[in-house]
Amino acid sequence: MPPSSSSRRHTLTHGVSTPNFLAELPPQYTVDAESSQNPVARRRLSHGPPRYSNAVALELQRQGSSSGQGSTGQHQHEFHIMNANRSHAWTTLRIFSRNAGSTPQFFGGDSISGSVELDLEKPQKINSIILYLRGRIITSSLEDGSYAFLDHAVDIWNKDAGDPRATQAGGKRFDGKLDGKYRWPFNFAFPTEFTIPSHGGQISHSFQTPQTFHERGLNTTLEYELFLHINHGMFRGSSKLHVGVAYVPNITPAPSSPLRRRAYLEGVSLSSPGEDYAGWYSLHPVILQGEMSGRSGVEFRCILSLANPLTYTRGTVLPCFINIEAVDQKVLDTFANAKIIRVCLKRRISYTRNASLVLAHFKANTRGKGSSLRQDEMTEIVEDTGQAVWWVPSNAAFYGPNVRCLEGEIHLPKNLYPSCMVPFLIVEYYVALSIDLSDVFRFTSVGSHDSPIISQPVTIASFHGEGPLPVAFTAPPGKRASGLSSHRRAQSNTDVFITPRHL
């Protein structure tokens, strides 16, 4: 009779110790006791909080993710198909992955390795054993509420291959009856890309395989599973085993500038945008005009600069720098204030409302690569994920009497979902600058106080690239469960982008 249930067990393979990447990806910041007493490190700020560092833990993470060997010296997971009375596991799926938790996890470039094992108490007819790796986007529990964008099949064994215990090929055709113990090892790469056919299957569009996606409050889920299918023939139902797995793509930033790398290594202040042109990306200068304290024609100029390249690893920081220029000293002192300069990292999520539309759209589509669903087929949400902390740089006096500058950083939550661009799930990030001075100032040139003055798209990476690890120089915000604002709002109701006057 076919088995009636399945079970799972997780064991740790002894030998090489591997950090728990699932729980600490990337790890939290910890105080570096030495740096707080190190005069070189203290040069980073003339005054303020101590230097914070997570270099050791992040270096372990980077070494673990760059080896490309996701099957060596790792954690072992076992999953079983039991017999009818649950007294015997006649099928075991053994998987090696990076983490010791209940869900096996894999990074971009990893291999999925393990074995399929049978322990048959009596002869069973088996035609084939196939292991599938599947990725699905799920929008509802209905039959058409999911779409399998990834379906990778691995043939473990089939009866046409003959008796597994046969010493040589050929001879009598094997009838598929197996008895006793068998073991088939497997090893295959987790696909880093997937394709969706379009235009009648004549064209295929390729996309980077996205990370597993589960977030409370969003009506969409992106999940992966290993599906073991054992075919017994036409007179008996197949035996099946479903195992959920997690995936993290390998997205890394390009190397930073030589001056920035040296600053991270030596623990000194980052060079300013005027000193390190390659290390900063300066947005277009913006002139803001309005009325303040009954005076009209008040004007000031600001330039927001972000660390270059514009890709930042979650769990680290996004350095930023702002220059504010004005002829009137009172205006300059009013606006060059860390309490009113608001620079936030925002996240825009767009996801399909109906998974069944994905394939239909691409089959009918004749346009070029990268086409996604129509706007009316997507749900869009915009939310804050972090806000800059500011301080006055130690060399601020060198900028002149009509210029004020602030240096800062945005702490990136370690569990930020990396940037993603697939037809059914788009996760984008951008940095937005706004001014919070509605009680004393009224804009006449750029709209409301709630609207961003200027914004810049950025990329959130999952892992670190080459070079020294980024260093945070302020304490991260208090512990947050999700790292996201609790108030989610649709973009059409909140973020109204304006067109400021550029120089």
Candidates 143, 60, 54, 106; CA nearest to 470 is 54
Distance CA(127)–CA(175), nearest Å, equals 8
Task: Give the three-class secondary structure for 57.
Answer: helix
The string of pLDDT tens digits covering residues 160-211 is: 888 888 766 666 788 889 999 999 999 999 999 998 876 655 667 899 999 9
- Average of pLDDT values for 30-40? 36
- Residue 197, preceding bond cis, omega within 30 degrees? no
Spacing of C-alpha 433 from chain mean position:
24
Bridge partners for 460 per DSSP: 312
Residue with token string 């007493």: 37
For the chain, give every domain's residue range.
5-17+73-248, 30-63+252-472+484-502
pLDDT by residue (tens digit) across 266-309?
A: 988 899 998 999 999 999 998 877 777 667 777 888 899 999 99
CA neighbor of 211 nearest in space, from 488, 485, 463, 465: 463
Q: What are phi and psi of 265, to 5 degrees?
A: -70, -35
Q: Which string of DSSP letters, residue by residue, matches 217-257?
A: T-S-EEEEEEEEEEE--TTSPPEEEEEEEEEE----PPP--
- Provide the H-helix boundaries in 107-205: none
User: Could you tell me the sign of the dihedral formed by the alpha carbons of 279, 464, 311, 392, in that order?
Assistant: negative
Q: Determine the number of helices (DSSP H) and then strands (DSSP E) in the chain.
A: 6, 28
Report strand pairing: 75-82 vs 89-97.
antiparallel
Options 2.60.40.640, 3.50.50.60, 1.20.58.110, 1.20.1250.20; CATH for 5-17+73-248 is 2.60.40.640
Rounded CA separation 184/483 (Å)? 43
Give the pLDDT band of residue 50 (cuts 50, 70, 90). very low
Query: 0.85 exceeded by the pTM?
Result: no
DSSP conformation letters of 474-487: SPPPSP-SSSS-S-
The DSSP output letter for 84 is T
pLDDT digits (tens, 9 = 90+) for 231-261: 998 888 899 999 999 999 999 999 999 999 9
Nearest to 350 by CA among 455, 490, 212: 490
Query: Among 2.60.40.10, 3.40.50.720, 3.40.50.360, 2.60.40.640, what is the CATH number of 30-63+252-472+484-502?
Result: 2.60.40.640
